[in-house]
Structure 1
Amino acid sequence: MSSLRDKMNRLRGTGSSATVPPAEETGAVHQTVEPQPEPADTDHLETLSEEWSSMGVKLLHNEAGSFLIRRKSYSALHKHGIHCLGELPAAACGLSAFHEAPVAPEELMYLDLETTGLGVGTGNVPFMVGLAYWIGEELIVEQAVIRHPAEERAMLYYLNSKLGSYRYLVSYNGKSFDWPVMQTRFIMNGYNRKLWEPLHLDFLHPSRSIWKNTLASLRLSHVEEERLGIERIDDVPGSLAPQLYFQFLADGNPEPLRGVYQHNEIDMLSLVCLSIRFGHLLNGAMEGCYQLPMPEESEELIRTGLWLEKMGHGDRAELMFQAALAAERTASSTLNMLAARDKKAGNWQRAVLLWQKAVMQSVQPGSAGMNASVELAMYYEHKLKDYDSALSYVSEALEQALSHPLGRRDAKRRDEIEGLRKRKERLLRKTTGRKLAE
């Protein structure tokens, strides 16, 4: 951390950070305040340049020093992609499924960071902290920025007093990245007592559950484009944000940060819309007033159903499963996915039909058809004691395994082949023994 701080200080020509009493001594730790409609601004000797003012940036002072803040408000009628922000109050009810507790829009604090690096260690500093929260009929987006290390404590002082007013932290990978980074910075700056402990709503996890194999990327910018109808124009990639910040530190020109502000702002709005989408989905919006487009791919339908079932909505999950089965063609791997769910639930009748369909569709050797054949072999052997049918399916699975290009080279596949041979030998003994007995 010290090496990065020294580097930033040298670039800015700034001395060591201002001497400010730790938060514990000032009594400001975990101070609970109501969200303010406008960040307060007081008289100060320093004034911001025209470049900062043109971006809507203000200088904010508090007991710990000063930092920059940019604030924008959006009405409930503002449309971002396919959603209006005013849908948030209705969608928030559905989000209660995440923690089995009521969720009000005023309890949600959205967070997105722009940092100097990628890790969660002490050397990674968030130079821009994006926040969004709901007040009345408006969404407020705030972006706090530090111009040099001496301003970090003032920014954290402000955030520490603000965050405690909210119950939920909403993010995209924030549980693993954004919030651990913030916790580290709070502790490094003396805010190590009674830190805010929010309930997390991290939407990377449901995104991964539903779109793991149907979207080329799970980056928020890709998810928003493919599923939220949001198109970014002349967007600064988040990966360039650290470089642009260090450029600002070197020459003092804030203009390159204009694109970073815009990128972070869109991230915040997209995160709100993603929470709206998941909230509607959990509320049953496929049948309700907020219509969501039905997934087109059978795998996405089944993955959506599996996620809904996990969140306690089995009835809505079944609608997804039925829609997937009604599709003209469903991939064998997708059929196996639903069959595995039915097997676990004891729904053997549909599981068998799904496995049989997967076998019939597997015209080329591959794991999907082979796995379905193995499942059918086990079902007929152990459930129905039909050893002839079981032998037929295990023979088909062995043939597919042997004809696979990696069948004789891959160690895992060799183990599978050996297991299939043993299963076939056992079934041969059983069928032979039964025939002799007859």
Structure 2
Amino acid sequence: MTLGTKLSRLRALKKDRGQQPVASATDLRHRLARIDRTRPSDDSKGRRQASIEERLAKQLKGYQISDGLIKIQRHIPLHGSMGRHPLSLLKQQPVLPGDGAAANRRQVYFDTETTGLSGGSGTLAFLFGFAVVEQENLETTQYLITRFAGENAMLERINSILSPDDRLVSYNGKCYDIPLMNTRYRMRNIPAILDRLPHLDLLHAVRRLFGRTWPDCRLMTLEQRLLGLKRHNDLPGSEAPEAWFDCVTTGATVRLARVVDHNFQDIISLPMAHAVLAGVIEQPERHDADIAALARWLTDSDKTAAYTLLLRQRQRLSISGMRLLGRLARRFGNWELAVEIWEALSRGGCRQATEQLAKYHEHISKDLEHAKYYCELLPVDDEQRRRLNRILIKRYRQGIQPALH
């Protein structure tokens, strides 16, 4: 059945029902042609997008390096201050516990802004910013994608700026940024260098040192408490996805520019946070850091430093800090100090300390009466019964030994 026949039947049906007749095929063609004329052409769309990108690049004081990708670079001389710390502090290579040779690599401080906060294969990192200290300047570079087509170019650029001798430094990058970026590289079938580099996540250090004393360990909290910085008119990171989509769909650039500023503040805060955290390691009492947590961190790489720290801060130690000091005193052969600490902890009901005293008097001092005393203070279980039985046998043998002579 032809189109004309179908329209004739429909017109007849409409007339039977008292409704307006259906338009003819010619009328429909004319209507479609009018709609097509009002629709923007691909060329006009491209010109509009290019105009938006040009305006945004100018607004950000950057420049387009490929279709859909803007590069923004800034140079910050290392004089003056950031918050309450001199920028000259960045000239020294910061060292944290366990750094080893990694501290001598070029430190690449980076952060991303994404189209979603939960990650996943549908989330795009539309902004990648990084900062490095080069001689007398802090050099920052940001790559901003203005449309999906710009992602490949950004991923290739990131690969080109990194070398095998670099170390990445981030804030929550191990759990969020790097997994997300690796997903984007896999989806674009581009080899990634990011996941092959050493990576220091400063969030882990902050949680160790201040997790018990700060209300939270967000980067802005670190900035306020350690750096003496307070952001003004900062766009929250949670609004970044909406700002980017607004720019892509409507051409609105004002909020996206604020996202770029937010990212810039993140990447310049990271090197200063790294430097100041290294100072916290040297003088933890000045910053009200968790001494016991720092000592536990130090024990992984330098037990002598951990022991020295705990001895120096002995009067400020928590129960967990005293337990660690007791273990290290035993390790370094300072039995007098170890016993003193264990006795104090045992009086406070610490089972571990009481058990250590039972072991010490059984095996080291050979004072079986004290060994029996501390063993009997322990909760009764199979291990306690075996230990007590062994001590009683030793005491019995010790008692009959003189009679044999």
TM-score (norm: length of structure 2): 0.73
Q: Quote the Cα distance in structure 1 between the aligned partners of 2:215 and 2:144.
A: 33
Listed as ranges, the matches of 1:419-438 within 5 Å are: 419=382, 421-422=384-385, 425-426=388-389, 429-430=392-393, 433=396, 437=400
Partner of 2:366: 385
Partner of 2:285: 294
Q: Quote the Cα distance in structure 1 between the aligned partners of 2:374 and 2:235.
A: 55
Partner of 2:89: 87
Q: What displacement does 1:150 show?
A: 1.2
1:418 counterpart (377, 381, 395): 381
Q: What displacement does 1:421 show?
A: 5.0
Partner of 2:79: 77
Structure 1 contact 374–394 (Cα < 8 Å) conserved: yes
Say if 2:324 is the partner of 1:324. no
Q: Alpha carbons of 1:390 and 1:216: their partners in 2 closer, same or farther (altered >3 Å)?
A: farther
Q: What displacement does 1:258 show?
A: 4.0
Say if 2:172 is the partner of 1:143. no
Partner of 1:154: 153
Listed as ranges, the matches of 1:256-271 within 5 Å are: 256-271=255-270
SS for the counterpart of 2:189 is coil
Q: What displacement does 1:212 show?
A: 4.2
Q: Quote the Cα distance in structure 1 between the aligned partners of 2:122 and 2:257.
A: 25
Q: What displacement does 1:98 show?
A: 1.5
Partner of 1:355: 342
Q: What displacement does 1:325 show?
A: 0.9
Q: Quote the Cα distance in structure 2 between the aligned partners of 1:371 and 1:237.
A: 47
Q: More helix by proportion, 1 or 2?
A: 2
Q: Quote the Cα distance in structure 2 between the aligned partners of 1:114 and 1:193.
A: 18
Letter matched to residue 62 of structure 2: K
In our comparison, the structure showing a higher alpha carbon Rg is 2
Q: What displacement does 1:230 show?
A: 3.0
Say if 2:60 is the partner of 1:56. yes
Q: Quote the Cα distance in structure 1 between the aligned partners of 2:326 and 2:239.
A: 44
Gaps of 5+ in 1: 1-12, 16-43, 287-291, 399-416
Q: What displacement does 1:272 show?
A: 0.5
Structure 2 contact 71–141 (Cα < 8 Å) conserved: yes
Structure 2 contact 171–270 (Cα < 8 Å) conserved: yes
Q: Quote the Cα distance in structure 2 between the aligned partners of 1:318 and 1:425.
A: 32
Q: Alpha carbons of 1:262 and 1:343: their partners in 2 closer, same or farther (altered >3 Å)?
A: farther
Q: Alpha carbons of 1:118 and 1:126: their partners in 2 closer, same or farther (altered >3 Å)?
A: same
Structure 1 contact 380–389 (Cα < 8 Å) conserved: yes
Q: What displacement does 1:359 show?
A: 3.0
Gaps of 5+ in 2: 1-39, 43-47
Q: Alpha carbons of 1:59 and 1:46: their partners in 2 closer, same or farther (altered >3 Å)?
A: farther
Listed as ranges, the matches of 1:11-410 within 5 Å are: 46-48=50-52, 52=56, 55-62=59-66, 65-92=67-94, 94=95, 98-100=99-101, 103=104, 107-118=106-117, 121-164=120-163, 167-192=166-191, 197-280=196-279, 286=282, 294-295=285-286, 297=288, 300-312=290-302, 314=304, 316-327=305-316, 330-360=317-347, 362=348, 369-398=350-379
1:306-335 deviation per Cα after TM superposition (whole angstroms, max 9, x unaligned): 434544483x544422221144xx322221
SS for the counterpart of 1:69 is strand
Q: What displacement does 1:139 show?
A: 0.9
Q: Quote the Cα distance in structure 1 between the aligned partners of 2:103 and 2:387.
A: 54
Q: Quote the Cα distance in structure 2 between the aligned partners of 1:419 and 1:143.
A: 63
Q: Alpha carbons of 1:308 and 1:96: their partners in 2 closer, same or farther (altered >3 Å)?
A: closer
Q: What displacement does 1:45 show?
A: 9.1
Q: Quote the Cα distance in structure 2 between the aligned partners of 1:266 and 1:45.
A: 28
Structure 1 contact 110–171 (Cα < 8 Å) conserved: yes
Q: What displacement does 1:126 show?
A: 1.0
1:108-128 deviation per Cα after TM superposition (whole angstroms, max 9, x unaligned): 221111223456643332121
SS for the counterpart of 1:122 is coil
SS for the counterpart of 1:47 is helix
Letter matched to residue 73 of structure 2: R
Q: Alpha carbons of 1:122 and 1:341: their partners in 2 closer, same or farther (altered >3 Å)?
A: farther
Matched length: 357
TM-score (norm: length of structure 1): 0.68
Q: Quote the Cα distance in structure 2 between the aligned partners of 1:313 and 1:359.
A: 24
Q: Alpha carbons of 1:132 and 1:115: their partners in 2 closer, same or farther (altered >3 Å)?
A: same
RMSD: 3.8
